Structure 1
Amino acid sequence: MFKSISDQFGSVLVSLLAMQGLCSALAVETKETLNQSNESDHGELAVRTSDQYTIVHKWDGAGATAIIGAAGTLGLVITGAVGNYFSWLGNKPDADKICGKSAIIPVTENGVGYKYYVYSYTTGSNCDSTQRAKTITNALSDAFDELHSDGANAVCLDFDHGGTWHGVIGLATDASGQDPKSACSDHHKGAKRSNPGFPELETRSIAKRNEIGLVKRTAISVSESNKKSGSTKFSDSNKSQAVVIAIADQIYQQSAAKSCDAVTGRLTDFNGKDYNYYYQASGRNCDTTAEIKTIVSALDDAWDGLGSTSALCMTMSHGGTWRGHLGVSAMQADYPAQKLC
């Protein structure tokens, strides 16, 4: 067992996340289609549509002292955006087709100050989507890697999932002096910009990852142990995406802080099912080089096989000394999360 339990829970995302109902509809103009993956849906494997993005506005960094970092340094921005997107799925759109908006959110990552703004909209009659945490996280990561290689210091991106749902994010370094909200406001209405600071970009193909100096990353390996089965079972993956992204965010934060302290939390999925979790890392500095998208994908994939499970321990590794020990329980009174690993 781990040495102690911390009552801290660093992520502000958890209160925002509430995964909602699912549907799909018409395709729209896109920029990139990522590799498809097989995911579980009510116990059956199905090929899902990958997330796609279009660059709406971009600044090239001229005169700025900082450019947008590579995806590996923007984990808090990515989890923050995805958390907001999930919190609005299932909302009733307003008269302008908006599903939800955030405030302008300041964050510092890898010593660089940023501001970001997110909203989602629909081209249909509802705010639902077949969205998965790992697909939108991968799309955000690839977009930020491309923008970093281009030397951009501010951008507005539009994401879709081959249906009516769209997620928009404006991101700017503090040094750019740009306003991420102004870059994206009313984008979905097709508003024309007279300000030359907001140039419309044509859709173009993304550079291949090896052409922009990036290498294929090692996946996180997840082993399961101490699995318990009782009267309350885990919900299927589709209903648990908010839980997945919130736990991944906590793991990322602990790694970034090089913290070996244990953290606990309680999360609720779309079915209203509660999960208690206990996480503690071990290894040299208790940190991992895994990007947030790698953490999210590992948890998302692992959740696919837990339909008959009430509690378990997941042990994660990434080829180095780091081990992430995660106990998750849907029956805390019977199987305490802190005792599973």
Structure 2
Amino acid sequence: MGLLVDGVWHDDWYDTESTGGRFERPETVFRRWIEPDGDFPAVTGRYHLYISLACPWAHRTLIVRKLKGLEPHIGLSVVHPTMGSGGWHFDGGYPEATDEPLYGLAFMHELYQKADPHYTGRVTVPVLWDCERETIVSNESADLVRMLNRAFNALPGVDDTLDLYPGALASEIDALNERIYHAVNNGVYKSGFATAQAVYEREVTALFNALDELEARLGEHRYLTGEAITEADWRLFTTLVRFDAVYVGHFKCNLRRIDDYPHLRGYLRDLYQQPGIAETVSLDHIKRHYYTSHPMINPTGIIPAGPVLDLDAPHGRGA
């Protein structure tokens, strides 16, 4: 996980020494919006989404693109799962990955350099690219989920009846997102990337306290806000589907597995079995990325054979 400094690539890891062993996720930089009368109108074929099938933040945008029926309107490119010394790279020869179709680029950081030759910051996915202005609209997954949910509703074939952020539930969704982001979505990284024992123990305890809360909540509701799936569910799902496969072992989040939580286990299966979702999940990309991209955690690069996950088993969450 390198970064650009004034447009120049540096293969530098996160600086946890200066933070006492804590992992601190940097803020995203490109946070512009698609709006009907703005600089970035909702137009078929104008935008291209760059993702990693391994990345939980990118995965949430892929899910909304699928659910809303945006495939004919927004192109898609998928990076190779291994993030090496050059960062995310393109390799259409690897299963489910693609070449870079617009400019023939080899690395994701070249796209950032094209958007801003003097960019300083991490090179992350997802990225929504404007093919007309040749720049990044946004690299903030939370914003992209909201944009994909509503901004393209007027285009043909888009499911404008599906609203993952209904106004009546907005405040509840926001509160859930805030809690889940800090303790769970980012909590697994704060545990896995910690370089001090006390920091790791604090973060992993906070993570499992939050999972215990969610288990109790899902004992009372089918989904996080009730009987309808919202963006909060998909934001949690992308962490849960990776949890037993990589976070338990690779990130030492091993107090319990998701499979040990009856309600979270059923909830995960329920979401996975929603129409179109299974095809957005690539356990090959997920496992290969985590176990080969962090040599400071897994220096041998060996990818474990397990665990065997039965996400198609009955979920018991209702019809």
- Which is richer in strand? 1
Question: Normalising by structure 2, what TM-score?
Answer: 0.27
- Which is richer in helix? 2
